[in-house]
Amino acid sequence: MWTLKKAWYRTFQFVFNICEVFLPQHSPELLTGAGSIKKLPAFIKSKGIDKVLIVTDTVLSKIGLLNSLFAACDEAKLSYVLYDGAEVNPSIECIEKAYKAYCDNKCQGFIAFGGGSSMDCAKAAAARVARPKRSVAQLGGTLKVLKKVPTLFAVPTTAGTGSEATLAAVVTDYSTHHKYAIQDPVLLPRFAVLDPELTVGLPPHVTSTTGMDALTHSVEAYTNKFAPKYTRILAEKSTKLIFENLEKAYADGKNLEARSNMLLASFYGGRAFSRACVGNVHAIAHTLGGLYGTPHGLANAIILPYVMEDFGPAVYKPLACLADIVGIKGNDDGEKARAFIAAIHQMNKNMNIPAQIDVIKDKDVPQMVEWAMKEANPIYPVPVIWDEEQFTKTINRLRNPVTEEATIS
């Protein structure tokens, strides 16, 4: 039976890959460089939009990071309404509040300002504007919106999620602790601002975990099956930029060049996985976010090397290519791939990211496996399709990491 299921999953992925060619996926238009946030309001006005809802979180609102945006809005005579209730893992309730604020104030577009959570909240609220008769839960899944949404302007203040370049919004249902995604090409932001000055004040641990989140996007997109050539090129560029700049940005948060390069790396990674998909790292990470509130970047950073190890020889060739790109040596593909994975472990260690996740409870493992299986299959074109046993083994490794490489055939 499992053999038949795997055959069905691969068939689905192959057909879906062909169909994706015909789905419109634009690349967001970029405003880049230090201080580019100040240009955004006038740019928005030039698009015929006079009033926007700014979606952000309370922390960014309180520390004054939006002040330059507010001042530029006033100068450009762009009306705005602030919604600063975006949560770390956006809930249905906070999305509904953003949706209501948009409608009540007759806004014409969204500015998503912050990390992935602010962008997820804005995207999901935009989906509700397009589909007012459908609940957030009913919009969960793939291609459930399929209707034009209000114009989305994305302003990332972290370099990791790549949400400014993706078609997904991740939602958490706190009544069940289940995390799921709304995925539709219409949720791709039309415009994005990559301003390194907005990331200068990030704490080192946020810099490190969001940066490793970007690496996860690139590595998963690169190792997945059926990935088109352009996504591989984007993933290669992103991986190289991360290896060259992440630890620099972690060590010196005021290094604008490193910050700028990390924003670009995150953008490339987001574009890559929007088309090539993510994989089992994300499938497991989302369960941790739903059950325990584990920050997504932190979860991905810890999980990434273990999943790649457990994929075994199936990922040796693509990881060897990435190793060549970042200058990691080896005598053959297997040696290069293992050295590349070891380098990820070392990067985590250098940036004080823990090697294991100690919050996982025995009683929750079956639920985690169930959710991960449901998310991954049939849509994620992973190198090796995992059954319940392998998901369980990998999750247990996260609690008790071992040095030996665990591979499957």
Residues 176 and 139: beta-carbon distance below 8 Å:
no
Which residue range forms the structural domain that includes residue 55?
25-199
Q: Domain ends where: 199, 221, 247?
A: 199
Which residue type is seen at 73?
C
pTM of this prediction? Answer: 0.92
- Check whether residue 239 and residue 380 sit in a common domain: yes
- Check whether residue 173 and residue 258 sit in a common domain: no
Q: Does any domain span residue 11?
A: no
- Check whether residue 246 and residue 136 sit in a common domain: no
Say how many C-beta atoms besides its own lie within 10 A of residue 105's C-beta.
Answer: 15
Kindly give the pairing relationship between strand 168-173 and strand 178-183: antiparallel
Q: Does any domain span residue 355?
A: yes
Q: Is 141 left (phi over 0), alpha (psi -120 to 50) or beta?
A: left
What CATH number should be reported for the domain holding residue 112? 3.40.50.1970
What pLDDT does 406 receive?
42
What pLDDT does 16 receive?
84
What pLDDT does 401 receive?
56
Cα 190 to Cα 186: distance, rounded to the nearest angstrom:
9
- Check whether residue 143 and residue 254 sit in a common domain: no
Residues 28 and 189: beta-carbon distance below 8 Å:
yes
- Check whether residue 145 and residue 78 sit in a common domain: yes
- Check whether residue 275 and residue 156 sit in a common domain: no
Cα atoms found within 13 Å of the Cα of residue 378, Cβ hemisphere only: 15
Residue 151 has φ and ψ, to the nearest 5°, of: -60, 130
Q: Does any domain span residue 391?
A: yes
Q: Domain ends where: 176, 199, 222?
A: 199
Residue from 195, 222, 209 nearest 36 by CA: 195
Give pLDDT tens digits along the chain (409 positions): 888 989 999 999 999 888 877 776 778 999 999 999 999 999 999 999 999 999 999 999 999 999 999 999 999 999 999 999 999 889 999 999 999 999 999 999 999 999 999 999 999 999 999 999 999 999 998 889 999 999 999 999 999 999 999 999 999 898 888 888 899 999 999 999 999 999 998 999 999 999 999 999 999 999 999 999 999 999 999 999 999 999 999 999 999 999 999 999 999 999 999 999 999 999 999 999 989 989 999 999 999 999 999 999 999 999 999 999 999 999 999 999 999 999 999 999 999 999 999 999 999 999 999 999 999 999 999 999 999 999 999 999 998 755 444 443 3
Residues 336 and 325: beta-carbon distance below 8 Å:
no
The CA angle 342-348-353, to the nearest 5 degrees, is 145
Q: Does any domain span residue 277?
A: yes
Q: Does any domain span residue 19?
A: no
- Check whether residue 290 and residue 146 sit in a common domain: no
- The residue with tokens 């497991």 is 284
Cα 266 to Cα 214: distance, rounded to the nearest angstrom:
5
What CATH number should be reported for the domain holding residue 282? 1.20.1090.10
Which residue type is seen at 318?
P
- Check whether residue 194 and residue 222 sit in a common domain: no
- Check whether residue 44 and residue 82 sit in a common domain: yes
- Check whether residue 154 and residue 58 sit in a common domain: yes
